[in-house]
Amino acid sequence: MMYAVLHPPNFFAQAATHQRPELRRRPFVVLDGEPPTEMVFAVNKAARSLGVEIGMTRLQAETCSEVIVLPRVIEDERTAYASLHHVACMFSPRIELVEERPGTYALDIHGMGLLYGDAGQLANKLRQSVMAEGFLVNIAVAENFHAAASLSCGRPGISIVLPGCEAHAIGQLPLTALHLTPEDEATFAVWGIRTCAELAALSETDLIARFGQSGKKLHSLACGTWPHLMFPMEPSFEASLVERMELDFPVEELERLLFLLSRMTTTLLERVRSKARAIAALRVVLHLDTKAQHERTVRPALPLQDTSTLLKLIQLDLETHPPSAAIVGLELHAQSATPYRAQHGLFLPQAPEPGQLEVMLARMRKLLGDERVGSPELTDDHRPNAFRMVPFEPPPPQQSERPSSSTPIALRVSRPPQMIGVTLVNHAPGWVFWGGAGYVVRQAAGPVRVSGHWWSEARWCREEWDVRLENGGAERLCRIAYDPRSRCWYVQGTYD
Amino acid sequence: MAAAHAIRLQIEAKLAQRVPAALTLKIKHAPELFATGVTAVDEMLGGGVPRGCITEISGAASTGKTSFALSTIASITQLSNACAWVDVSDALSPEAAAAAGVELRCLLWLRMSAERGKRVADKSWSRLEQALKATDLLLQTGGFGAIVLDMSDVLPEHARRIPLATWYRFRLAAEQARSALIFLTQSPCASSCASLALRCEPGEAVPFSSNGETPLFERRQYQLARERNRNESTHFMRRKPVQRVSWPAETLWSRVR
């Protein structure tokens, strides 16, 4: 294994002036924190020569009139990271960000000789590429990861270490290059140990006796023999699940878009299938002629791997919620998930096929409306017949026994309640006039006074009666209610 | 006899491209039955409502159609079968469904609406047309144990306007999807397409109880008449007499008392 480590010295200062190179030669400081307690976060060489140090307050930094004060901009740092990352990716497919040293990247250059020549040539090309991006950078190439990292931090320019010479190469570096903890640095300072060679010369056993197991690590670091397990950065798979397309002229008809959406969905599915995954959600962003965006998300109940089903779902959703203007561009963002696998049983009841069910529900939503398709769910409310609609997701089939009980009488609810006329006889309904017909009340049970939400504007209150109505030979059993607020009678429903 | 057999084989071979097994009687298997949850009715029907067939339950208001249908759906959902309720009048009470024992998570409730179709739909569907379209989609999707098309509040003259071809299509689709298709209507409209035709009638009047100070509506007696059952074996050209059975139902609060 051969590592090339690139380290931009004073990374935060370089990042701050990356977009403004004219500031590089002038003294400047970068301040971080909330005003008025801002502190000096980064400082360049010119400012340091004027006596400005990291950790100073804004007031202290401003005492030097020549020093330019810059605020810390996280976005600039992200851009700088992205530039360095981009360059590093050009030289090796296996790169790792060295977390404890800002802006430092380690590249596994094993086998890259055919493309870039030997280690020296590669380091030169790498340095030139990074400098072309506007960063000053040190490069170190070594077989040991930590030795290369220490060298890149401690020695300017390019350093190439031959195999087996790591201890000699880093011997003259100060101990700070090893990135020790402040406590360890203080201890070594007391002992009079200043360089890596002096630390490597100490007996390993004696160091372990004084530092514990960390003593072994310190000694190996100084000798350039501490091993490292590389965790190469991998591009985020989810971030790659995006397809974009700009149209030459605005399109108004959805049918014409479907050709493009089909191609984009297929591409996304191929990408997702290569990782043995499925699409759990698809976000369609339509860029409109009016500079606005129309965004819809299709989220099937189960992750799908089928283009036609996904496309149908997108089509039905866009037909139900059409964009307000012509479309000039479209984006498709996918979210992947593990594919759904069901273990079917021979004796289990049949259930709708998930893909077909999803398309059918989308069609139903288009036909009836979002709120009118689904399963009812009873809500914890005192109001009779309180419920809400939830998406229809039947649980996996399983055998269960029904508790035996008598058959209850069902109420057919009138939505909304129908207004009726009622004549009272002895404080009870005697006649009911409903839908142009008069009914005699043969029997009445009530009143049942129900109310709720008396503490809010949405309060409700009514007196309910169960009545047996008769009109000629026809008989019907209803629940009627009197609303004292509106002083009206309503039919709540019919028992059937 | 042998000659007749040979001629039959010859004719069948000739017609095989156009009509397979033209002269061979098709053996029809008895359909699977779903219990209705009402013991007396199950005994009369020989097990319950047939799967893959149309069952038509007709009757006036307050004759127990909805209670009976909910009891049937409860039995079917308890077996973990997904069911659908196509509600033309948006009149289903989820509370009553839960009380009947329906697994609400297994029930797809489609509520027709008159207000729909202003913005997106290019045609203004009436509730009944919406319901027929929805039923068609459900049957095409398949996988549902039972589908209830609730037309209880649709006037008979409107229901009769539905072309007979629709019911024939539904019958074939239900057979292929192996779904029990149940119609709730005021008067029979599916005619010969319904394998099982039941008529709900008001039973003997049960007065409101008055044990306490105020009367209370507690129970009701319903009557169910079996008008047609195609799946029952009968003598050729002889129609089975109409059978009636009485079954009780009670209100939710009477269970508590």
Give the residue numbers spanning the domain of B155: 33-113+121-202
Mutate to test the interface with B, among A253, A317, A368 (most CBs of B within 10 A): A368
Contact by Cβ (8 Å): B73, B51:
no
Residue numbers of A between 431 and 490 with CB closer than 8 Å to B = 443-446, 466, 468, 474-478
**Res B122: pLDDT:** 37
User: Is B172 contained in some domain?
Assistant: yes
Per-residue pLDDT reduced to its tens digit, B79-117: 888 999 999 989 999 999 998 889 999 999 999 876 544
CA gap B199, B182 in Å, rounded: 13
Subunit contact B109:A408, Cβ cutoff 8 A: no
Rounded to the nearest integer, the mean pLDDT of chain B is: 84
**Res A75: pLDDT:** 84
CA gap B198, B189 in Å, rounded: 12
CA gap A28, A49 in Å, rounded: 11
B16's CB contacts (< 8 A; 6+ apart) are none
**Strand B54-58 with A138-142, pairing:** unpaired
Contact by Cβ (8 Å): A298, A281:
yes
Contact by Cβ (8 Å): B78, A347:
no
A329 lies within 8 A of chain B by CB: no
Contact by Cβ (8 Å): A224, A166:
yes
Closest-CA residue to A463 (of A433, A434, A429): A429
Which chain A residue is nearest to residue B135, measuring alpha carbons? Answer: A364
User: Is B62 contained in some domain?
Assistant: yes
Q: Is A305 exposed, middle or buried (0-12, 13-18, 19+ CB in 10 A)?
A: middle
ipTM: 0.85
**Integer Rg of chain A from CA:** 38
Looking at chain B, the whole-number percentage of residues with pLDDT higher than 90 is 35
**Res B239: pLDDT:** 63
Per-residue pLDDT reduced to its tens digit, B65-82: 999 999 999 999 988 889
Q: Going edge to edge, which strands form the sheet with A28-32?
A: A39-43, A28-32, A68-71
Closest-CA residue to A123 (of A157, A95, A146, A156): A157
CB atoms within 10 A of CB A227: 9
Is the previous residue joined to A36 through a cis bond, with omega within 30 degrees of 0? yes
Contact by Cβ (8 Å): A70, A29:
yes
**Res B237: pLDDT:** 54
Pairs of CB atoms within 8 A across A/B: 216
User: Is B26 contained in some domain?
Assistant: no
How many residues in total does chain A contain? 496
Subunit contact B137:A446, Cβ cutoff 8 A: no
CA gap A201, B200 in Å, rounded: 102
CA gap A336, B41 in Å, rounded: 51
Answer yes or no: is pLDDT of A35 > 50: yes
CA gap A9, A48 in Å, rounded: 14
Domain A238-337: top CATH class: alpha beta
User: Is B211 contained in some domain?
Assistant: no
Closest-CA residue to A386 (of A309, A327, A452): A452
CA gap A204, A190 in Å, rounded: 18
Looking from the CA of B130 toward its CB, the CA atoms found within 13 Å total 29
Closest-CA residue to A321 (of A298, A305, A353): A298
Looking from the CA of A488 toward its CB, the CA atoms found within 13 Å total 9
Farthest CA pair distance, chain A: 115
CA gap B145, B140 in Å, rounded: 13
Contact by Cβ (8 Å): A163, A157:
no
Which residues sit opposite A412 in a β-bridge? Answer: A494
Contact by Cβ (8 Å): A29, A67:
yes
CATH number at residue B167: 3.40.50.300
Answer yes or no: is pLDDT of B235 > 60: no
Chain A CB contacts of B37 below 8 Å: 402, 407
Fold of A3-160: MutS, DNA mismatch repair protein, domain I (3.40.1170)
Q: What is the dihedral of CA A471, A477, A479, A481, to 10 degrees?
A: 20
CA gap B83, B34 in Å, rounded: 12
User: Is B18 contained in some domain?
Assistant: no
Answer yes or no: is pLDDT of A235 > 80: no
Looking at chain A, the whole-number percentage of residues with pLDDT higher than 90 is 29
Rounded to the nearest integer, the mean pLDDT of chain A is: 87
Average pLDDT over residues A319-324: 89
Domain count, chain B: 1
Contact by Cβ (8 Å): A72, A30:
yes
Average pLDDT over residues B34-54: 89
Which chain A residue is nearest to residue B138, measuring alpha carbons? Answer: A360
How many residues in total does chain B contain? 257
Q: How far is CA A454 from CA A292, A459, A460, in A?
A: 44, 5, 7
DSSP A113: H
**Res B118: pLDDT:** 47
CA gap A474, A495 in Å, rounded: 14
Domain A166-223: top CATH class: mainly alpha
Which of B95, B141, B152 shows the shortest C-beta gap to A356? B141
Q: Where are the domains of chain A?
A: 3-160, 166-223, 238-337, 411-495
Per-residue pLDDT reduced to its tens digit, B115-159: 544 443 433 347 888 899 999 999 999 889 999 999 998 888 888
Q: What token pair was written down for A244?
A: 């974009």
3 state SS for chain B: CHHHHHHHHHHHHHHCCCCCCCCCCCCCCCCCEECCCCHHHHHHHCCCEECCCEEEEECCCCCCHHHHHHHHHHHHHHCCCEEEEEECCCCCCHHHHHHHCCCHHHEEEEECCCCCCCCCCCCCCCHHHHHHHHHHHHHHHCCEEEEEEECCCCCHHHHCCCCHHHHHHHHHHHHHHCCEEEEEECCCCCHHHEEEEEEEEECCCCCCECCCCCCECCEEEEEEEEEEECCCCCCCCCCCCCEEEEEEEECHHHHHC
Subunit contact A378:B95, Cβ cutoff 8 A: yes
User: Is B197 contained in some domain?
Assistant: yes
- Residue whose entry in the numeric block shows the structure tokens 């049970």: A445
Per-residue pLDDT reduced to its tens digit, A267-299: 999 988 888 899 999 999 999 988 889 999 998
Pick the range with the lowest mean pLDDT from A134-148, A163-177, B36-50, B210-224: B210-224
Which of A319, A363, A400 shows the shortest C-beta gap to B120? A319
**Res A283: pLDDT:** 93
| pTM score of the predicted model | 0.68
**Res A76: pLDDT:** 86
Answer yes or no: is pLDDT of B238 > 70: no
Backbone angles phi, psi at B137, to 5 degrees: -65, -40
The helix or strand, by DSSP H or E, that contains position A295, with its residue range, turns out to be: strand A293-298
B110 CA: distance to closest CA in chain A (Å): 5
Rounded (5°) CA angle B35-B36-B41:
105
CA gap A361, B41 in Å, rounded: 34
Mutate to test the interface with B, among A400, A409, A470, A475 (most CBs of B within 10 A): A409
Q: Which amino acid is at B68?
A: F
Contact by Cβ (8 Å): B69, A353:
no
**Res B116: pLDDT:** 45
User: Is B184 contained in some domain?
Assistant: yes
Backbone angles phi, psi at A421, to 5 degrees: -105, 140
User: Is B232 contained in some domain?
Assistant: no
CA gap B25, B207 in Å, rounded: 54
Q: Is A293 helix (H, G, I), strand (E, B) or coil?
A: strand
